[in-house]
Amino acid sequence: MTTLSVPAQKITNSIDSAIPSSVPHEEEKFKMIAENVSIYYGSTMGVKNVTMKFPEKSVTALIGPSGCGKTTFLRCLNRMHDMTKNAKVEGKVMIDDIDLYDKSIDPIYHRRKVGMVFQKPNPFPTMSIYDNVTAGLKLNGVKDKRILDEIVEDTLKMAYLWDEVKNDLKKSAIELSGGQQQRLCIARALAIQPEVLLMDEPASALDPIATQKIEETITELKKDYTIIIVTHNMQQAVRVSDYTGFMYLGELIEFRETKKLFTDPKNELTAKYVQGQFG
Amino acid sequence: MSTTNEKRQEYRALFKNNVKKRLVVDKIVHIIIFAFVIIAIIPLASILVEVFKNGISAISYEFLTAIPGSIGSGEGGIGPAIQGTLIIIGLASLMGVPIGVMSGIFLAELGDNKLARNVRFFNDVFMEFPSIVLGIFAFLVIVLILGHFSVWAGAFALALIMFPIVARTTEESLKMVPITYREAGTALGLKKWVITFRIVISAAKSGMITGILLSVSRIGGETAPLIMTILGSSQFFSSMDVPMDALPLRIWRLSLLPYESSQLQGWGAALVLILVIIGINMAVRYHFANGNGIIMRFIKQGVSTKR
């Protein structure tokens, strides 16, 4: 058991010495931009002044030790902190040139552009598989049965679940295994046809085979979606992501192309973390 | 990493080694718990047995459908009372359940402010109010103003008893629904009220129904507020503006009479009231059990994993 206690001074130094990390890739088009985002829980600062740009149709991974704020940051990209009492978000989150935190914005409309998959599978317990996938559509007003059927088949195939459930779509969602439930949640998130997909450790509750399937899904989805994934699993970050951001104690320490971050980290802390010296 | 192997041995030696004694203690605790359950069941069971034993002989087709006969004759029945009880429970539920459910939703979903804390406090106080006080209140604000006894007043008084119970149980059931479902709904771009009404409530339905049934059972047996409001009658329902009969009122009147035949009818009416309440409970539960309550889902899930 090694716990790392890096003095605050040292962190500050290492940040100063870091490559300007928010823009690893100037030439591309950005789907989402987080600018100077700070998140407070009461008086505790969970995320400190993070700036990140997410290129369109790419996978960005957020890594870092437990409690580093990566989930907190991910949730702010969808205004999920609106639901948390005492949580306060500062800064800007731009999606297609619209600031999600602008006072005049209705977050509901923009959340439909952003799908989210949570760490623990959370299918709606009283609904069938079919109803779970279509929940976001039906409750947002899509009624056409033909379209719903089409989307159900399509998204369940994308989530690699179709073959396992195509014969009992009316079955209750909570009768599925944990891995199946998580893939159902991915299908449910995809069903609202988002443009961005946020994934909070989507494979942490899954076995290696299901994990592999999810990773294949992510790679497949990259063609059409901008994906931001929080993961504890560095191999997973290497396998699926194009860009990786390393967070520590609420700060973004380094953000670069995944290959470069893992093979040639510019920051001492990043190097230690990706080499498994702490975490 | 300061625990050495010697220390671990030392710690292990501290554990008690009396497995046999602990098994015995375990048994004894089990027996004590079971004994208390029996003690709790005895009065309940003896009430049921007593009511059945005394009441069953009074029950006949005439008893269930006819109007009361002349006092002490042992003739006639409790038809108006059964009808009145069903009417008054129905009306009170129509008033009390929506108000109670909405208050419960408010407390659970928007209840994190000063107003809600006050509402919750007064709701709890209200729940413990003596029912006669609510009866007098209904008497003052409806009966006295209208100038006559009224079915509305009775239903109003019973609804007042009902809604705090419904509000509280609804709130508790909604709070039991894990926040992850709300988050999932939010992430799907759903409006808060859609999440509440289409997702959260369907997951909490079972608990809410239990609360509603609890309140129905409670008002089904209320006598005092009905004396102040619908008074009692020996005729079938004719209008909202005249006295009406109800089972608790009929039981009360019959049991006060000094004739054995009347008291027998009182037992019969008590039995009918119990059966009516059980009947409402079972019918409602059966109606909702076939689908969507979360508890039913879990039971089904348990069954399907056992197979």
Per-residue pLDDT of chain A (279 residues; tens, 9 = 90+): 344 444 444 444 444 444 444 555 555 688 899 999 999 988 888 899 999 999 999 999 999 998 889 999 999 998 888 888 888 999 999 988 888 888 888 888 888 889 999 988 999 988 999 999 999 999 888 889 999 999 999 999 988 889 999 999 999 998 998 888 988 999 999 999 999 999 999 888 778 888 888 888 889 888 889 999 999 888 999 999 999 999 999 999 999 999 999 999 999 999 999 888 876
Query: What angle (nearest 5°) sits at the alpha carbon of residue B297, between those of residues B193 and B108?
Result: 30
- Residue A29 to residues A24, A33, A226, B117, B297: CA-CA distances in angstroms? 12, 10, 11, 49, 47
In a domain, A243, yes or no: yes
Is residue A2 classed as helix, strand or coil in its secondary structure?
coil
Domain residue ranges of chain B, discontinuous segments joined by +: 18-56, 81-245+275-294
What are the residues whose beta carbons fall under 8 Å from the beta carbon of B62, sequence distance 6 or more? B76, B77
Q: Does B174 contact A at CB distance below 8 Å? A: no
Total CB pairs under 8 A between chain A and B: 87
Burial of A152 (0-12, 13-18, 19+ CB in 10 A): buried
Q: What is the C-alpha separation between B54 and B61, in angstroms, rounded?
A: 17
Assess if residue A169 is contained within a domain: yes
Q: Is A36 helix (H, G, I), strand (E, B) or coil?
A: strand
Q: Which residue has the higher pLDDT, A209 or B224?
A: B224
Residue A106: predicted pLDDT: 85
Q: What is the longest distance spanned by two Cα atoms in chain A?
A: 61
Confidence of residue B143 (pLDDT cuts 50, 70, 90): very high
Would you state the structure tokens that stand for residue B57, as one six-digit string? 């002989």
The pLDDT assigned to A197 comes to 93
B190 contacts A126? CB cut-off 8 A: no
CATH of the domain at A99: 3.40.50.300
Comparing A194-198, A235-239, B149-153, B299-303, the range with the smallest average pLDDT is B299-303
pLDDT at A75: 92
Residues A90 and A228 in one domain: yes
pLDDT at B291 over 70: no
Tell me: do A59 and A142 sit in the same domain.
no
A81 touches B: beta carbon within 8 Å: no
Together in a domain, A209 and A186:
no
Nearest to B298 by CA among A167, A126, A115: A126
Whether residue A184 is found in the same domain as residue A61:
no
Closest Cα in chain A, distance from residue B8 (Å): 18
Q: Is residue A27 part of a domain?
A: yes
Nearest-CA distance B163 → chain A (Å): 26
Are A36 and A73 spatial neighbours (Cβ–Cβ below 8 Å)? no
**What is the residue whose two structure tokens read 């959340």?**
A111
Q: Which domain holds residue A178?
A: 127-193
pTM: 0.81
Report the number of distinct structural domains present in chain A: 2
Q: What's residue B140's pLDDT? A: 94
Q: Measure CB to CB from residue A136 to each of B179, B189, B294 and give the nearest one.
A: B189
B81-245+275-294 classified as CATH 1.20.1250.20: no
Q: pLDDT-based confidence at B74, cuts 50/70/90? A: confident
Tokens 């957020």 sit on residue? A62
Mean pLDDT of B286-290: 76
| A263 falls within a domain | yes
* Same-domain pairing of A54 and A160: no
3-state secondary structure of B296: helix
% helix, strand, coil for chain B, step of 5 = 80, 0, 20
Q: Are residues A52 and A108 in the same domain?
A: yes
Query: Are A213 and A81 members of one domain?
Result: yes
Average pLDDT rounded to a whole number, residues B275-298: 75
Q: Taking 50 as the threshold, does the pLDDT of residue B214 lie above it?
A: yes
**From CA A191, how far away is CA A133, in angstroms rounded?**
6
Nearest residue to A161 via CA among A230, A116, A232, A216: A216
How far is CA A161 from each of CA A106, A158, A212, A213, rounded to the nearest angstrom? Answer: 33, 8, 13, 9
ipTM, 2 decimals?
Answer: 0.82
| A23 Cβ contact list (under 8 Å, min separation 6) | A53
Nearest to A245 by CA among A22, A8, A93: A22
Q: How far is A266 from chain B (nearest CA, A)?
A: 33
CA distance B142 to B240: 12
b (16+ CB within 10 A) / e for B95-131: bbbebbbebbbbbbbebeeeebeebbeebeebeeeeb
Assign B92 a pLDDT band (cuts: 50, 70, 90).
Answer: very high
Question: A177 and A101, same structural domain?
Answer: no
- pLDDT classification of B1: cutoffs 50, 70, 90: low
Q: Which residue of A has its CA nearest to B185?
A: A136
Claim to verify: residue A49 and residue A187 sit in the same structural domain: no
Mean residue pLDDT across chain B:
89
- Tell whether the model's pLDDT for residue B299 goes beyond 80: no
Torsional sign, CA B137, B139, B142, B147: negative
Chain B contact for A98 (CB, 8 A cutoff): no
pLDDT at B67: 92
Q: Which of the listed residues A146, A177, A193 is the one where a domain comes to its end?
A: A193
Same domain for A240 and A107? yes
Give pLDDT, residue A207. 83
**B297: pLDDT confidence band, cut at 50, 70 and 90?**
low
Is residue A82 domain-shared with residue A66, that is, in the same domain?
A: yes
Q: Residue B199's closest CA among B291, B289, B292, B111?
A: B292
B292 vs A: CB within 8 A: yes
